[in-house]
Amino acid sequence: MQLSIVIPLLNEEESLTELYNWIVSVMQSNSYSYEIIFIDDGSTDDSWKIIQELSVKNPSVKGIKFNRNYGKSQALHAGFLATEGDVVITMDADLQDNPEEIPALYRLIQEENYDLVSGWKKKRYDSVISKNLPSKLFNAAARKTSGVKLHDFNCGLKAYHKKVVKNIDVYGEMHRYIPVLAKNAGFVKITEKEVKHQARKYGKTKFGMERFINGFLDLISIWFLSKFGKRPMHLFGALGVLMFFFGFIAAAWIGLSKLYKMYHNLPNILVTQNPWFYISLILMVIGTQFFLAGFLGELILRSKREKEQYLVSKTTGIN
């Protein structure tokens, strides 16, 4: 199979049939073998009913339904597990991603041997204040932190070689950073392609300003994981030893100073009246805690989670 189209969605009943017809038209005009995998992330409208109807109409349509809303990352994870195509395309269900871009994305993967191609919505039809400006700041921070030179990390329209989606773990809110996850996994042939962005035709966006706050927090997490995810002791252990060392030296200096003044009958105060005694004590305590955090991190790595972080209630067309 040449193409797997993975589409996560939440309450998009108005756009699904139109999106399906558009994708099928592109697939047929290019004679692609394909599958369309819809992941219903806990919709409360008739989205799942429409997916079932499309699956009956066309065996190439498959569906996965979550029992509640778990988030886009979990939806993509479930979709990636179900894919069978050589090239995987992800896109949103709100018609803002243009299926006409699929052939060019497919060629970049198959003919130019890229591991991942990310869409770049250079011209956007979103609010400048609530989306465009925060998005630019977010993308600039992501480029600086991750070293992946993309203009639009959060674009839903992306193409992947199948080996990428089968070897990365998308969880939490990490769908924004799939290119970074791919790079950390060793897939370094990453590029971007300018794609058309279309104004939303139906409904309203499911993401608010909080996604940028969450995005920056996730960016810090992924930076830490990429640097120290496999060796937490290198960070926490080093910090712990350093802080304990300075605390111990300060405590030793206070003790020796006390003995020196007592021996020479110089004016002196109780050790517990010296503020530096408490500073050194705190440094040693925090240093010990950091060291233990690194040690516990190493233990946790030995029991890495295998259980999926979502519950599938129904499927259609999935073997």
d(CA 303, CA 24): 43
Give the model confidence (pLDDT) of 270-282 as tens digits.
Answer: 877 788 888 999 9
Name the H helices within the chain. 13-29, 47-57, 72-82, 102-110, 133-146, 162-165, 178-184, 210-228, 232, 238-263, 275-301
pTM: 0.73
User: Any idea what the Cα angle at residue 125 is, between residues 122 and 130, rounded to 5°?
Assistant: 100
Q: Are 66 and 40 in contact (CB under 8 A)?
A: yes
Given this model, what pLDDT does residue 306 score? Answer: 52
d(CA 283, CA 242): 9
For the CA atoms of 40, 44, 212, 221, the dihedral, rounded to the nearest 10 degrees, stands at: -50
Average pLDDT over residues 105-121: 94
- Return the closest-CA partner of residue 197 out of 121, 272, 102: 121
Q: Are 221 and 25 in contact (CB under 8 A)?
A: no
Quickly tell me which residue has 């990453």 as its tokens.
Answer: 190
Give the model confidence (pLDDT) of 24-75 as tens digits.
Answer: 999 999 999 999 999 999 999 999 999 999 999 999 999 999 999 998 989 9
pLDDT band at 19 (very low <50, low <70, confident <90, very high): very high
Give the model confidence (pLDDT) of 295-312 as tens digits.
Answer: 787 677 556 555 566 778
- Return the closest-CA partner of residue 233 out of 175, 185, 292: 292
d(CA 4, CA 85): 5
SS3 state at 314: strand
Average pLDDT over residues 88-94: 94
Q: Are 7 and 92 in contact (CB under 8 A)?
A: yes
Q: Which residues contact 222 (CB under 8 A, 6 or more apart)?
A: 146, 174, 177, 180, 181
d(CA 214, CA 208): 11
Whole-angstrom distance between the N-terminal and C-terminal Cα of the chain? 15
CATH architecture label of 3-229:
Alpha-Beta Complex (3.90)
Given this model, what pLDDT does residue 194 score? Answer: 92
Strand partners for 119: 193
Domain ranges of the chain: 3-229, 232-303
Give the model confidence (pLDDT) of 181-194 as tens digits.
Answer: 898 888 999 999 99
